[in-house]
Amino acid sequence: MSKAPFRLEMDGRTDEEREKDKEMRKAAVTPPMGTFFPEDQANVRPEVRINMTSVNKLLGLNDPPVQDNRFERMKLFGAVASGDITKLEGLEEYLDTYHKTLMSTDYQPEGKTVLMIALLNLKKEDNKIVEYLLSIAKKKNYLNELVTARRTDTSYKGQTALHIAIERRKKRFVKMLIEKGADVHALACGTFFQPLSEKCFYFGELPLSLAACINQEDIVDLLMERADVRRTDTLGNSVLHALVMVATDKSDTIDFVTSMYDFILAKDAAMNPNKEKLEDIENKQGLTPIKLAAKLGKIGLLKHILHREFLQEECRHLSRKFTEWVYGPASGSVYDLDSVDTYKPNSVLEIVVYGSEIPNRLEMLQLEPLNQLLEDKWKSFAKWIFHIKFIVYILYLIIFTAVSYHNHEEGRANPKGHLLRAGYAIVAFGSLYIIIVVLIDLRKKRPSLQAMLIDGYSDLLFLLQAGLFLICMVLYFCGHKQYLAFLVLSLALSWMNLLYFSRGSKHMGIYNIMIQKIFLGVIMRFLLVYIVFLTGFSAALVTLLNNPTEGLHLDAANTNVTEGCNEPNFKTISCTILQLFKFTIGIGDLGFTEENEYKHVFYVLLIFYIVLTYILLLNMLIALMSKSVEDMSEKSTNIWKLQRAITILDIERYASCLKKKLRSGLKRNLGNTERWFLRVEEVDWKNCERNLAIISEDPGKSNTKQPESYREPSQQSLEVQEEEQALLV
């Protein structure tokens, strides 16, 4: 950014005003956007200011007479904010007398001009102050400088008078400023205009984006005639991106956002038919508006975009949905798969499936065509590849179990030795393959810790299983007997990981999800509290019972210690933890405490422990598990669909060499372009009476076409190629 031009100004302030300005600089604070109190304005000094009194003395000239009606900054701003033009009488004469302009540094603290003050405080449409200020600037030839001035403070940097006029919904003044030369591409990029927190208002920085985000269609229409609709802000966002950012799922907001979105899209297509489609512009994150809506979880707007259907001929090509037939509540439609299908990278489907930070992605996956697209991929190829992987893993498990069971026979001279070594090699290569695949997958997805515990639960278990086996192999070749511990842990995890393949079946998949959620939720919290109780009471009891009485024979105590934890005793912390755990499950023994001096204290502690754990915690665990199962029963199906969707996309990614053959949908000619569509048949009782006048009622076969007499020209161009028709019968 270029530096501001050097400014040389005349200083017509009195000594009293100079002292007051010095005091204000000492107590300067960040100024608000607009205020009725001029004292709140910041004080900015010019680079060079010439004292007029000193110059006049040097030249032997008399000072100009002191005017009673002086317009120092505070007075001028107050007069402008009042909206009373009579308070500005004598302003023009004052400016001429003291060689000032409305763009003097005195009159624009932090870049806030007197014109901005006037626009911020508009009280009625026939406000004459704005026109008066513009006329003064025009007479003195700095009109363009006044209307294009930008704020320079951190919070509101880049804001112009045009932004303020748009925000105040004053089309008359917006048009006036544009005619006077206002910059229609000025960027308001201060911190207040960035998506940093809920207290900020991000609108896309550009005037056009601001008008769109505050639902000013008439101003948007005016600006689109003069501004480049494809201009983007500092984040690379276009006006459509900005609308996505401000959209919410509340009915009042989503209604105006979708209406404005379609208005801009249709008007741009009419104005710029040969330019790049406005909806295809990507921001600096590589996201188009539809992808941004998916990433931010704006389900209402995403649904509207996916289901957008224009009936007007001139806008027909902008549709993403084409209804082919309707019969009562049933209908058949084709959906545009552009930016939706995974055939191209960073698709909407990938964003939703892998977007663990998206709060409502379970609901988003139920939207058409996402739901039908996943079902189509599963039935066409993913199901068969998944079943093959299941069979391969079963064979891997059988080999792993066999070599683990017979590992003690490897050193003997028997014909099984070669088979055991071959089995170990197969398991080792399998474990190495699992580690490589999981690490590549994690590197691509880069999930957060929370996402790892939710979506990457199975990946972590597979990684742990393979890692334990490789550690086992290293210890085995180093001659350490501890390899057996890692071997059995890996074997147990291998059989547990067989549940991963339950997601291929709906009922088993839902059951596995409940187990997973209960373990990660209720049981983990129970174990945390239980460990606290167990450790605390163990420390107390081992301290109490480790002080033998005077009449107690030391030999007996030593005998108990040497016997370890085979016999009930509380001589060590580990044995105490074991004994208390036995009490938790109801198999503890109290016989050895009879000869202890503090057995009554011991009984009190033990009863308290049993009440807290055996009675309270275990019953709470059972109750919470029951409640969790009831709560998850409604969501489990959607969670299962999400897990299956992750599996489908993982399979598709590894089969990328067959991408063209595995592509879903059908190719259709739409005008002069070819697009891929997916046919979806739906039943919708809520909107069953919509479009009855223009859509055929006869569904016929799945590839039914409308009679030519009922079809619009654009519908006639939407023809299925002959070879694809045969596939759809």
pLDDT at position 591? 61
Residue 509: pLDDT band (50, 70, 90) is confident
402, pLDDT greater than 60: yes
Closest CA to 575 of 611, 545, 612: 545
The 3-state secondary structure of 149-187 reads CCCCCCCCCCCCHHHHHHHCCCHHHHHHHHHCCCCCCCC
Residue with tokens 């806008």: 315
Single-letter amino acid code for the residue at 642: L
Helix (H, G, I), strand (E, B) or coil at 727: helix
Rounded mean pLDDT of 248-273?
A: 89
**Tens-place pLDDT, residues 651-706:** 888 877 777 788 888 888 776 778 888 988 888 777 666 655 445 545 545 444 44
The DSSP string of 76-91 is HHHHHHHT-GGGGTTH
Residue with tokens 């049933």: 330
pLDDT at position 704? 42
Cβ–Cβ under 8 Å, residues 231 and 238: yes
Residue 516 tokens read as 């997973």
Q: Which residue has the higher pLDDT, 596 or 309?
A: 309
**Tens-place pLDDT, residues 420-473:** 888 888 999 999 999 998 888 877 777 766 666 666 678 888 999 999 999 998
| Least confident segment among 205-214, 313-322, 487-496, 541-550 | 541-550
- 320-341 burial string, b = 16+ CB within 10 Å, else e? bbbbbbbeeeebbbbbbbbbbb
Residue 406 tokens read as 């017979």
Cβ–Cβ under 8 Å, residues 534 and 612: no
Verify cis geometry, omega within 30 degrees of 0, for the bond prior to 369.
yes
pLDDT at position 274? 84
Report the helix count and the strand count for the chain, using DSSP H and E: 32, 7
Q: Which residue has the higher pLDDT, 584 or 727?
A: 584
Q: Which residue has the higher pLDDT, 591 or 223?
A: 223
Sign of torsion, CA 285 289 294 299? positive
pLDDT at position 512? 81
The H-or-E segment that residue 543 falls in is helix 524-545
Cβ–Cβ under 8 Å, residues 81 and 117: yes
Helix (H, G, I), strand (E, B) or coil at 547: coil
Residue with tokens 């474990």: 431
Rounded mean pLDDT of 373-398?
A: 92
pLDDT at position 267? 92
Single-letter amino acid code for the residue at 659: K
Residue with tokens 């055929």: 696
pLDDT at position 358? 86
- 405-432 burial string, b = 16+ CB within 10 Å, else e? eebeebeeeeeeeeebeebbeebeebbe
Q: Which residue has the higher pLDDT, 190 or 688?
A: 190
Distance from chain centroid for Cα 697: 41
Residue 599 tokens read as 């057995």
**Tens-place pLDDT, residues 613-630:** 888 888 888 888 888 777
Rounded mean pLDDT of 60-86?
A: 72
**Backbone phi and psi for residue 658, each to the nearest 5 degrees, phi listed first:** -105, 25
| pLDDT more than 70, % of the chain | 77
Residue with tokens 């939710």: 454
- Kindly give the pairing relationship between strand 673-683 and strand 666-670: antiparallel
Residues with Cβ within 8 Å of residue 326, at least 6 apart in sequence: 332, 688, 691, 692, 695, 696, 697
pLDDT at position 283? 92
| Least confident segment among 124-138, 211-225, 651-665, 710-724 | 710-724
- Kindly give the pairing relationship between strand 48-51 and strand 8-11: parallel
Domain boundaries, the chain: 320-337+665-729, 373-502, 521-641
Residue 107: pLDDT band (50, 70, 90) is confident
Cβ–Cβ under 8 Å, residues 493 and 464: yes
**Backbone phi and psi for residue 126, each to the nearest 5 degrees, phi listed first:** -90, 30
**Tens-place pLDDT, residues 34-68:** 554 444 455 554 555 555 556 556 655 555 555 55
Rounded mean pLDDT of 377-397?
A: 92
Cβ–Cβ under 8 Å, residues 108 and 44: yes
Residue 389: pLDDT band (50, 70, 90) is very high
Q: Which residue has the higher pLDDT, 265 or 660?
A: 265
User: pTM for this structure?
Assistant: 0.78
Cβ–Cβ under 8 Å, residues 335 and 368: yes
pLDDT at position 55? 58
Mention the CATH class of domain 521-641: mainly alpha
Report the alpha-carbon distance of residue 283 to residue 292 in Å, rounded. 9
Residues with Cβ within 8 Å of residue 455, at least 6 apart in sequence: 354, 356, 447, 643, 646
